Structure 1
């Protein structure tokens, strides 16, 4: 069976070798006579999967020993609440940078928990760029600064990260593992798996240990990071199959040459599409300003809405799936996460040129 040219924003493409590996062991994992989905999460066989996923992630991202790796459920959307519930005390303020819909939602949830302020925003320009930060505006009451590293709807991405005296919190759901990171710059990183890490169902949280060292007994058990930290994310039944696939994806990343190799490939893939846009004499128009363009989500429009609809219809007939822009902004969006093959991106770029 031929594979689709999958440009969905999430759940998104997974490496074909990962799917084949999971298929091979679907009914009998490690000689147990059971699927991973059927294993007890307290069993030795599953414990090896669980711990291996953590250690492989630590190795690939070079996560220092003073950081915890947690596997949480509820998606990044739950982290919008868990971050302020665990890190925002009554006498502190959570600062937010608005760069799109997901950072707006993160702010909205934090406002239900405690004091918040907007440090910077590009909402007035319809989120075409990443704003310049005036860090002098961070007051002494700052508990943290929250950013969204890649904005799937608008196609913008932080190209570098600020050095702060307060914890930097980053929603990296859509670009984690796409490039090397200096983890020490961050207090906490969270990422829903369904873009670059694996299937939906597990959320990775990487958090500095000293940020979650104080008792927070007033919090509900499953909304307290300490619950996951003290129990190796095994307080209750974790999403075992999602974590197994996460582990397989991490193995694939290592076999691909690690994050530096993936970054080079991601830059190459994005260039094909941005060149098709820039060389179209305005037929295709990118949404993001050039200095803020994302290597994960390429967003663009055509001259009219009818042109956009006709383009999307023609693309679908050629096997290109998931190119519709987010319902809130329309247009087109090609999500080219790690697992999207270079050849698929090349085919899309050629189609864009031919269609024009």
Structure 2
């Protein structure tokens, strides 16, 4: 019955589980999928992510676990990606991230086995956390002043390396572990400085070692991309989230915004139309946050060429533009319907 429920609610996961060589504990798989809201969009992303941490904390190198499946990791990764568009919840989760990792049973239970036998489990836990939560890397780095990988390495050192430091120093394998997980160093960084994230984190499909297909990319400047890749570049349909709050949805080519799409600016303005190398170029419509609207031609991000500008007051201008200004002949229609044929020189009446 439980196996049938999994097949019904998560057919893709069920087929993957059936294809595995190892024996599957269907009761455990059911429990894990239930904690992850059956891989459906949850009402509370934070709650599901906290459960994901618990599953990672309970993982084993030899024992099967749902959290090891790529489809499950990708689902959690997508939830984190969506969380990054919710500034309030993102800040809350990043603030809790250190506590969630530090309170993991793995870092609080010091196994009575050699560290060399524990390290493979730590590597698995570290890989799962980095894969699932890579999109908060820039925000965590800014808050903690160190990367997620360094944070986990520090926890491993404090829990397992430090208590047996002398014993480890007596063997070549132990020395290698000491060098791999050095003593944590805390460096003061002034509050006004900005710590760069030196890695672009990617999770998605590959082809011949190149990003190819669907993927999610977390960039060094705090921006995020979710969409299609072609031979290592953003290409096809996608969503781009700027760290300052703007969002673009549309076409990409050769790693740039190219083609037709919609950009929502942090200011509240919205543009729908043609883009060339990230700039408004071609024909498009801009709706301004103050109620104004422009429909017409664009060049290098400027209103340039023939177009119509509609003021929220009811006045309409139809004519020529250059560098965002009325330039050339045009017609003004007042809010009472009266029309005037006039000529402008960069917004100055001729």
The structure with the larger Rg is: 2
TM tier, shorter chain? under 0.3
- Greater RCO (Cα-Cα under 8 Å, separation 6 or more): 1
Given the two structures, how large is their TM-score scaled by the length of structure 1? Answer: 0.24
TM-score when normalising by structure 2: 0.24
